[in-house]
């Protein structure tokens, strides 16, 4: 299967023209009941729980290679596929899948801008039909630099060329809302609530690139630095990872355990 040229952030009308391409694998991460009611023709469904792992209290970890290989094989995914993912929440779950693909070295992927809301708003085709798909054998041999560990972050605290981008709500960042043993944020982190990237007036599409870049630059998030995104379980921060990638950032990574690990650890500083 030859590589095709598809934008990282794809608009509904553009995707609709490409639905017949055998090179595209369309993955739906909507709530199961939404998928059953109506989904984009040809989309296969994945439940969000299938793409994350947990070691309580640490949540949002990346499943091991064997589990991911079995999952991707079960939906007929091949290394040659260009994956397009969407969901019903503005791209958070879909972006976590795309970040996972990046972490295992699958570089051909896109996010449907606005997800099922934007698609529906343009009155594009929807179906209840679930098409059968052949299983495949998707090999995973390792992980790439898209994922960083707690120890990596600890060793880079205070580094002038590293930005820790906390994408939780301001209340979580300030420690007013506690979802782990300790409240607060990683020392030196800056706060960018992930929803600030979403245009609520445009069916949950991303805000214009220039506006996103202005907001991030004001926080010191610039392309000359390594940017590490985190939230509570690397769900919201996976979305911000894709936002950064769409803006041309190349030195970006996500922290899978995020605050569920950092805030529940006894060997991590908290601000």
The DSSP output letter for 208 is P
Please answer whether residues 24 and 101 qualify as being in contact, where contact means their C-beta atoms are separated by less than 8 angstroms: no
> Whose structure tokens read 């779950």?
93
Which residues is 32 bridged to in the sheet?
A: none
Which residues make Cβ contacts (< 8 Å) with residue 200, sequence separation at least 6?
none
For 266, residues 6+ apart whose C-beta sits below 8 A from its C-beta are none
Query: Residue 7 and residue 90: Cα distance in Å, rounded?
Result: 18
What is 125-184 written as a DSSP string? --B-----------------TTB--HHHHHHTTT-TTEEEEE-S-HHHHHTSS--SSS-S
| Inter-residue contact 85 to 109 (CB < 8 Å) | yes
Helices (H), the chain: 12-18, 32-37, 65-74, 92-103, 115-121, 150-155, 170-174, 209-218, 236-246, 258-262
Q: Contact 12/119 with Cβ under 8 angstroms?
A: yes
Distance CA(102)–CA(229), nearest Å, equals 14
Tell me which residues are annotated as active site: 231
CB count, 10 Å around CB of 88?
Answer: 21
């Amino acid at each position: 299967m030859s590589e095709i040229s598809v934008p990282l952030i794809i608009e509904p009308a553009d995707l609709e023209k490409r639905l017949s391409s055998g090179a595209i694998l369309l993955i739906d991460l909507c709530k199961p009941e939404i998928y059953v009611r109506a989904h984009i023709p040809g989309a296969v469904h994945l439940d969000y729980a299938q793409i994350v792992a947990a070691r309580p209290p640490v949540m949002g970890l990346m499943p091991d290679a064997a589990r991911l290989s079995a999952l991707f094989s079960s939906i007929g995914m091949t290394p040659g596929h260009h994956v397009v993912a969407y969901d019903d929440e503005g791209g958070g779950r879909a972006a976590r899948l795309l970040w996972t693909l990046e972490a295992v070295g699958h570089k051909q992927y896109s996010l449907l801008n606005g997800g099922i809301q934007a698609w529906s708003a343009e009155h594009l085709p929807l179906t209840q039909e679930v098409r059968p798909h052949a299983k495949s054998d998707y090999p995973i041999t390792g992980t790439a630099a898209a994922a960083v560990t707690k120890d990596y972050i600890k060793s880079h605290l205070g580094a002038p060329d590293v930005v820790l981008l906390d994408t939780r709500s301001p209340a979580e960042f300030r420690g007013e809302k506690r979802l782990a043993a300790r409240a607060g944020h990683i020392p030196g982190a800056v706060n960018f609530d992930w929803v600030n990237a979403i245009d609520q007036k445009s069916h949950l599409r991303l805000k214009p690139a220039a506006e996103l870049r202005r907001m991030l630059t004001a926080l010191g998030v610039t392309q000359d630095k390594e940017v590490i995104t985190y939230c509570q379980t690397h769900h919201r921060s996976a979305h911000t990872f894709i936002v950064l990638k769409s803006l041309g950032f190349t030195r970006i990574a996500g922290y899978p355990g995020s605050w569920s690990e950092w805030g529940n650890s006894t060997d991590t500083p908290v601000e």
